[in-house]
Amino acid sequence: MQLAIELKNIRNELGLSQEEFGQIFSYSKSTISNIEAGKKDVPEFMVQKAVNEFKLMGLALEKCKECECNHFIPERVDIDSTPSEVLDVIIEECQEAIKAATQAKKELKLHNKKSRDWLNENEFKKLVNYTEQIYDPVTGIFKWLELFQRNYKGSVEEIRSRNTTKLYDNGAKIQKDTSSPASVLVKSY
């Protein structure tokens, strides 16, 4: 339901009617109305097209939170999260996953010392818990990186070039005039 609400908010921010928004996805006004009301699920292609066309990475994150594909997206990562904030969460989640992996390894060493071929119920529950603590952030990280890469298409050089251009465009960086020698730059009084 949260995804439907987010989709409606995006439509409103874009200043589009349900009919205009539906035309983007080849849907009728009534279908968009049903999706926004939560009567119909938001189709995967609709999210992908909205993310690609309008650069709405937050919508993709919201879709991941609702999907059944078992990708873990921490609650602290939301629509307004910047890539830097998401990376901070990823670092924290990875540290927790490393701790869980260390604990799982200790449990397995203890199990091996007991020379048994089976785990008792308590040992099994502990290992399942540790495995989930490792699996959840790792799959979430890969999903987030995939979305990030899709959102910021291109190589590192392309992104650096775009960022440099933006710095010149907004005046943060001034381009040097290479056509005149340095002696011409001296002020005369």
Write the pLDDT tens digit of every residue in 90-112.
Answer: 788 788 888 888 888 888 777 66
Confidence of residue 17 (pLDDT cuts 50, 70, 90): very high
- Rounded to a whole number of angstroms, the distance between the first and last alpha carbons of the chain is 71
Domain boundaries, the chain: 2-66, 83-154
What number does CATH give the domain 2-66?
Answer: 1.10.260.40
pTM of the model: 0.36
Q: Which of 76-80, 84-88, 95-99 has the lowest mean pLDDT?
A: 76-80
Q: Which phi and psi (to 5°) does residue 153 adopt?
A: -55, 150
Cα(79)–Cα(70) distance, integer angstroms: 19
Conformational region of residue 38, where left means phi above 0, alpha means psi within -120 to 50, and beta covers everything else: left
More confident residue, 166 or 61: 166
Write the pLDDT tens digit of every residue in 63-77.
Answer: 655 555 444 555 555
Supply 173's token pair. Answer: 């960086």
